[in-house]
Structure formats: structure tokens, C-alpha cells
Amino acid sequence: MGTAWIIGAFASALGIGVGGALAWIMKGFQQGFVFIYSLCTGLIMGLLFLEMIPESIELGGWTVLAFGLAAGLLLFIYIHRFMGKITIITDNHQKDIFVRSGVLLTMSIAIHNFPVGIALGSTIGTDIGNLMLTTLVLHNIPEGIIIFTPLFLAGFGFLTFLLFTIIIALPIAAGSLLGQLFDSGIPSLLAFIINLAIAVIFMVAVKEIFWGAVKNSTVVYCSIIGMFGFGIIYLYVTLIN
């Protein structure tokens, strides 16, 4: 049990790292960033609606889901306004948008990773804990893609990759440590925290990623690519279940 935080942080970093590597490969195709953004939007929606939301409902029910989503929406508005007040010095406005999207996604995913770490810390070594580790790695791959794609397109490199990977993995480690000390016997609280992240991730996906793609293409094209990404997650969920 004492190594749960190390295992959790490593699993998270592994998934994010693989996603970051894929983002680095795809960044060379800058003309295709509309395709990448649309695809990642679909991947995110698949993760939210096919896995995270059903898990949250099972943990806390519909009432906790509603309150958590409402609080998450307010949190997103606050974060977005706060980020809007920060001056990001880059070569052009498009890079500003890339940086802000990457930072917002990192913050929202870090929020989600903390309760996941709590649950992991209290179940590590069990069948459920092993399943969570596998799911954690696979979840973080598309999350790594959507985090690092805008950052790499903005011109950031390996040091940024290491820094943001650590930022995302740390909440898993902290949550796992807490989960070992306190049994995750308050599923409603976990569900509420997860719902906060669900709302933030949803809003970032729609407002920052999908809308950014639509402004450089068409709604029809972006929606079709997004549905393809959603279908990938659907097939993945179907296979593991």
C-alpha cells in the first residue's frame, strides 16, 4: 500500500507521456490541427459520456451530478476569466490561444486526477485497483494529446512537456497518499469532485478546442471528425467491458 502513490503517479505520467509523444509527432502537420482538435473533442466527449459520467452517477447519483456540474461550470467561468486577465507574451494571438487552452486543460485534468488518486490509493492491489491503473493509463493518452498539441503548436518543447507531465501526475500521487490514510468511504464527495472536473473538461473541449477548430473550418467537417473520435472511445469501452 505504501507504494500506491508512486504507482499511480507513474501510470498517469506514462499515459500523458504517450499522448505527448503522439502530439509531438502530429505537430508537424500544423495544417491538420483542425482534424486533431476535432478528433480530440470526440475523444473527450466519449470519455465523459461513456465512462466518467456513468461512474459518477453510480458513485453519487443524479442529484450530486447536477450540483457538481453546476459548481464545475462556475469554476470554469472563474478560471476562464482569470486566464483572460493574464497576459501571455508570444509571437501572435493564435499562440496565445494555444497556450491558454493547454493550461486550462492541464488544470481541469489535474482536478480530476486528485479524486482518482484517492480511489486508487484505497483499492491498489485489488482487482478494482488494477483495472483503475489500466484505465488511468488509457485515459491519459488522449488527454496528453489534447494538452500538448496546443502547447507544441505554440512552440514549447521538451522542458514544458516534463513540467506539465509532473503537474498532472502530482495530484494522483497526493490523492493516493490520502486514499491510503482515509478509506474512500464518501462516494458522494468523490462524485462531486469528479463532476467538477467533468464540467470544466466539457466546457474547455467545446469552447476552446472544438470552437477553435470550427473557426478554421466548418461545423459539419469538425462534427464528423468528432463523431469518429467518439466512436473510437465507444469501441474501446465496448472491448474492455
| Measured distance CA(199)–CA(84) in Å, rounded | 19
**Residue 28: per-residue pLDDT:** 65
Is it the case that residue 102 has pLDDT exceeding 60? yes
pLDDT in tens, 137-152: 877 877 788 788 888 8
Backbone angles phi, psi at 238, to 5 degrees: -60, -40
Residue type, position 9, single letter:
A
Residue with cell string 503517479: 9
Is it the case that residue 88 has pLDDT exceeding 70? no
Is it the case that residue 231 has pLDDT exceeding 90? yes
Q: How confident is the model at residue 129 (pLDDT cuts 50, 70, 90)?
A: low
Residue type, position 218, single letter:
T
| Measured distance CA(198)–CA(191) in Å, rounded | 10
Is it the case that residue 14 has pLDDT exceeding 70? yes
Is it the case that residue 184 has pLDDT exceeding 70? no
CA 235 remoteness from chain centre: 19
Is it the case that residue 65 has pLDDT exceeding 80? yes
Mean pLDDT score, 38-55: 85
Mean pLDDT score, 22-42: 76
List, as one string, the DSSP characters of the chain: -TTHHHHHHHHHHHHHHHHHHHHHHHTT-GGGHHHHHHHHHHHHHHHIIIIIHHHHHHHHHHHHHHHHHHHHHHHHHHHHHHHHTS----SSHHHHHHHHHHHHHHHHHHHHHHHHHHHHHHHTTSHHHHHHHHHHHHHHHHHHHHHHHHHHHTT--HHHHHHHHHHHHHHHHHHHHHHHHS----HHHHHHHHHHHHHHHHHIIIIIIIHHHHTTS-HHHHHHHHHHHHHHHHHHHHHH-
Average pLDDT over the chain, rounded to an integer: 80
Least confident of 13-17, 74-78, 169-173: 74-78
Hey, which of 93-107, 129-143, 198-212 has the most confident mean pLDDT? 198-212
**Which cell numbers in the block locate residue 198?**
467533468
Residue type, position 53, single letter:
I
Q: Indicate yes or no: pTM above 0.75.
A: no
- 146 CB-contact burial (10 Å; exposed 0-12 / middle 13-18 / buried 19+): buried
Cα angle 108, 114, 119; round to 5: 135
| Measured distance CA(49)–CA(38) in Å, rounded | 17
**Residue 230: per-residue pLDDT:** 94
Q: Higher model confidence: residue 115 or residue 238? A: 238
